[in-house]
Structure 1
């Protein structure tokens, strides 16, 4: 069953299907808990979790030497989860969050009431012509605003000098982009637009990968019973190539789909993570495992 639903609904479905020959494919819920304390053996996660998304973006920003971030966030639980993911990624890859600011969403308030983002608190003082000048010291405004309450205004309301905007607004990590052109993606985008008269969105690509996984497992196994197909999907012999340049499969410790992530704007991708130069100990031959929860960090008990 391909599931486009929230985490609570997905967990209810997983528990309902526990004693049945049913495998669920999560294409929507990015909650880290679904891959950790709330993981289920009958759930495969196509959509990346927030840790994977934050890690992919952080790797690119650090590679570009944009290491100092002003973190601006909203007041929802999802925003708090994105803040936690950004803080984890910064620590993991050597970035520095110089200040954290909260935008408090006043019920009934108008979006055009969002004021300018104040400069970060001074991180250091520099002496210029014998005059002490405070410097804000951030390269990026990192936004955590999943509901897009104030985020779209941040590129035009940043305090002080212009800065790169990333996170849930501006530059972000994603599974798919309508501007993706490498590894056969142009043909995939064109075919989708021809068939459905609209661009392919990340949720569409995630659903495609889920369906492709099922098709691959069935066609590669003469026996199409549930146990055989499920074992193949969970195992190392599954090798998918959904327009990302490498063969992809699921992590055995939590059912998360291993995949490169695009670093993109709303229109075009600018890079693909994982970036080179971020080694890890557990599976050094699998670069995509630098994104998200690596095996030694996992508390999933499937």
Structure 2
């Protein structure tokens, strides 16, 4: 530290100040250079997805991976000024590949993992007997149980839970005074879980489900929607049709065919999502453009969650000057952590469940309709905690 710099003229004092700044930067960079790089493992399982009636919105094969790569590029662009760097190692598992064998191969001093994995794989990875500390960031699975009864101390989530998505939708519907819902549930496991989340949200915010049906048709709705959907949606008068069809099997064919002329929301029509190509506010366009340049396609929610996971680790490394998995996790769950994520406010993690708090855009295919949490929904900590599972819903995921 330079204690004094005696120069008689203002110009000399300015030069002295600059010199002092260079000395400080040299000391900081030298200290950071002791261990500048951190290894981040990206693990993805390739899933054989069942066919659906509409192929217009097929999931890209590289979803998540490109988001992680962009996150690393962004972090390293900033980290070069402080001599910090993330090295990304990519592991793509096919259906027949063993996750346990991969975990044995990469079991090292301290592990940081971005997990684009189905629930069973994620739980297997979390329960693996790691030699040392491990932090796993889930970027694809929205299952509420991963944030409650199946939660793990070493697993964080940058993808919103289904409870967060359903709550964000319910708040908007209540604000519009669309309190009577006609709920239609698909036959896939994800559909059933999202429908359950919607029922919980209706109870939480005071909506009434006046119709609740399962979609059992297996016919091609491209030809039959006009004749099949109106009688299927006949019943007590409702304000809105709420659909749970995550795979896109039938939901698009409900629009303009319901018995009453009502809006369709949920997984089709207007839907809640972590990220979408139509999100442009708060500087999001620059992220969209950089991703599109890299991927040659738009950014989706899984891409965004992977980018956000890497960006969060980058904040811990650069701002927090953390290196080990244990120190990074402690920093991510602390009050000191904030990450800017093009959603109009800094994002943080919930320490009791590992879920990242974040606003949820409500969109249709062409534009953003709104952003939840909605005005007037209050919480003792932050209005972001009106979305999803609060501390009273979590059984064993750590302290508040």
Q: Is the TM-score greater than 0.5?
A: yes
Contact kept, 8 Å, 1:70 with 1:120, in 2: the verdict is no
Contact kept, 8 Å, 1:73 with 1:143, in 2: the verdict is yes
Query: Matched residues in 2 for 1:223 and 1:73: separation?
Result: 45
Q: How does 1:1-302 map to 2 (within 5 A)?
A: 1-16=113-128, 18-106=130-218, 109-112=219-222, 113=224, 115-118=228-231, 119-122=233-236, 136=237, 138-159=238-259, 161-280=260-379, 284-302=380-398
Query: Matched residues in 2 for 1:120 and 1:40: separation?
Result: 44
Match of 1:126 in 2: none
- C-alpha displacement of 1:203: 1.1
Q: Whose helix proportion is higher, 1 or 2? A: 2
Structure 1 residues 41 and 105, CA, compared in 2 at 3 Å: closer, same or farther? Answer: farther
Structure 1 residues 166 and 19, CA, compared in 2 at 3 Å: closer, same or farther? Answer: farther
Structure 1 residues 94 and 239, CA, compared in 2 at 3 Å: closer, same or farther? Answer: same
Query: Matched residues in 1 for 2:306 and 2:341: separation?
Result: 11
Query: Matched residues in 2 for 1:61 and 1:214: separation?
Result: 35
Contact kept, 8 Å, 1:22 with 1:42, in 2: the verdict is yes
SS of 1:251 mapped into structure 2 = coil
Query: Matched residues in 2 for 1:263 and 1:211: separation?
Result: 24
Gapped runs of 5+ residues in structure 1?
A: 123-135
Contact kept, 8 Å, 2:180 with 2:208, in 1: the verdict is yes
Number of residue pairs aligned between Structure 1 and Structure 2: 282
Gapped runs of 5+ residues in structure 2?
A: 1-112
Contact kept, 8 Å, 2:135 with 2:326, in 1: the verdict is no
Structure 1 residues 54 and 19, CA, compared in 2 at 3 Å: closer, same or farther? Answer: farther
SS of 1:157 mapped into structure 2 = coil
Greater Cα offset, 225-234 or 241-250: 225-234
- C-alpha displacement of 1:56: 0.3
Structure 1 residues 41 and 285, CA, compared in 2 at 3 Å: closer, same or farther? Answer: closer
Query: Matched residues in 2 for 1:244 and 1:220: separation?
Result: 20
SS of 2:229 mapped into structure 1 = coil
* Higher-Rg member (1/2): 2
Runs of 4+ with >6 A deviation = none
* 1:97-150 Cα shifts (integer Å, max 9, x gaps): 1111111144xx43445511434433xxxxxxxxxxxxx2x1111001122221
* 1:256-293 Cα shifts (integer Å, max 9, x gaps): 0000000111232111000111223xxx2411000001
Query: Matched residues in 1 for 2:171 and 2:131: separation?
Result: 40
- C-alpha displacement of 1:235: 1.5
- C-alpha displacement of 1:18: 4.9
Query: Matched residues in 1 for 2:187 and 2:359: separation?
Result: 30
Q: TM-score, normalized by length of structure 1? A: 0.88
Query: Matched residues in 2 for 1:180 and 1:76: separation?
Result: 28
Cα RMSD after superposing both structures? 1.6
Contact kept, 8 Å, 1:51 with 1:89, in 2: the verdict is yes
